[in-house]
Amino acid sequence: MTTMTRAGTTVRFEHIDKSFGDHQVLHDIVLAAPGGATTCVVGPSGSGKSTLLRCANLLEVPSAGRVLIGEEAITDPGADVDRIRTRVGMVFQNFHLFPHHTVLHNVTLAQQKVLGRSRDEAVRIARSHLASVGLARLEDRRPEQLSGGQQQRVAIARALAMDPEVMLFDEATSALDPELVKGVLAVMRDLAGRGMTMIVVTHEMRFAREVAQQVVFLDQGRLLESAHPTEFFDSPRTDRLRSFLKQVL
């Protein structure tokens, strides 16, 4: 990566509840994702992993509890949510690039419109990030002309160009063909190595074991375990995690 990240921004989830109608999907989640570290969130489908992640930048508004980005509570009434969101980059499962713009414009748009950077500066920064994810030569392409892996790397470059303090990855490799997963994981691995605070919702257990400093297990909206990967994978404390790991490893 060409950009120095500002390590040290911790994300705190304080007693988060989230309901959709009568259905409660998160129950009293208390979690700190330490600054400069990678926290992987794992669990079965429907366990609330993505919902928890989306609470971090308020794409989902918690029914109760607070989310703090560093010392700033994004959930507080009156919080400048749009500004706080610039501190938290997010990469989605299905990329969600802007289809009407080229790769380069995807990466410069928010820089110019939100951060107020000049066109030249935004282009320079965009090119640097595109090069760092191995896509320097594709800046004039449209998203539809790229493979899934390339689109996801553009999405990562787009988020990184905003100089975020925290990166959220919501099953960033789940929609990719197996041969394309490697390239995206390499970019994420590189980012983790440079001390970016990352919260990664993933089914890639190998990535969680090798890259994370903390692995969290969610089941039916409850946080059942949180530990260093060695302890998490080698000495699970609950029967539920043991049974989950047995199925996925």
Partner 1 sequence: MDGLQHVLDTFFDLPLIFGTLPSLLREGLLNTLLLTVLASVIGLIIGVALASGLMSRHRLLRLPCRWYVDVLRGLPHILSIYLIGQGLPLAGITVFGSWTYGYAALAIGLMEGAYMAEIFRSGFQSVEKGIVEAARSLGLSRARTMRLIVIPIGFRRVLPALTGQFILVIKSTALVYLLGLATGQREMFAIAQDSSSNNASLSPLVAAGLLYLVITVPLTYVVNAWDRRMREGRPAVALPPVEAAA
Please, what is the minimum distance in Å from the beta carbon of residue 63 to partner 1? 19
Nearest to 124 by CA among 142, 141, 139, 143: 139
Please, what is the minimum distance in Å from the beta carbon of residue 133 to partner 1? 9
Nearest to 61 by CA among 18, 93, 102, 100: 18
> How would you classify residue 225: left for phi > 0, otherwise alpha for psi between -120 and 50, otherwise beta?
beta
Residue 121 one-letter amino acid: E
- Measured over the CA atoms of residue 176, residue 182, residue 185 and residue 191, the dihedral's sign is negative
Q: Largest Cα–Cα distance of the chain, in whole Å?
A: 56
Q: How far apart are CA 74 and CA 53, in angstroms?
A: 13
> Interface with partner 1 includes 149 (CB under 8 A)?
yes
Among 118, 145, 174, 243, which residue sits at the site for partner 1 (rule: CB under 8 A)?
145
> Interface with partner 1 includes 3 (CB under 8 A)?
no
Please, what is the minimum distance in Å from the beta carbon of residue 244 to partner 1? 27
Q: For partner 1, what does the binding mask look like between residues 75 and 114, x meaning CB under 8 A?
A: -------xx-xx-xxx-x-x-xxxxx--------xx--xx
Please, what is the minimum distance in Å from the beta carbon of residue 132 to partner 1? 12
Among 34, 44, 134, 195, which residue sits at the site for partner 1 (rule: CB under 8 A)?
134
Binders of partner 1 among residues 165 to 204 (CB under 8 A) are 180, 183
* Residue 24 vs 93, nearer CB to partner 1: 93
Q: How far apart are CA 208 and CA 206, in angstroms?
A: 5
Binders of partner 1 among residues 39 to 78 (CB under 8 A) are 57, 59
Identify the H or E element spanning 67.
strand 64-69
Residue 43 one-letter amino acid: G
> Interface with partner 1 includes 147 (CB under 8 A)?
yes
Nearest to 197 by CA among 29, 62, 69, 54: 69
Which residues would be at the binding site for partner 1 (CB under 8 A)? 57, 59, 82-83, 85-86, 88-90, 92, 94, 96-100, 109-110, 113-115, 134-135, 137-138, 141, 144-147, 149-150, 153, 155, 158-159, 162, 180, 183
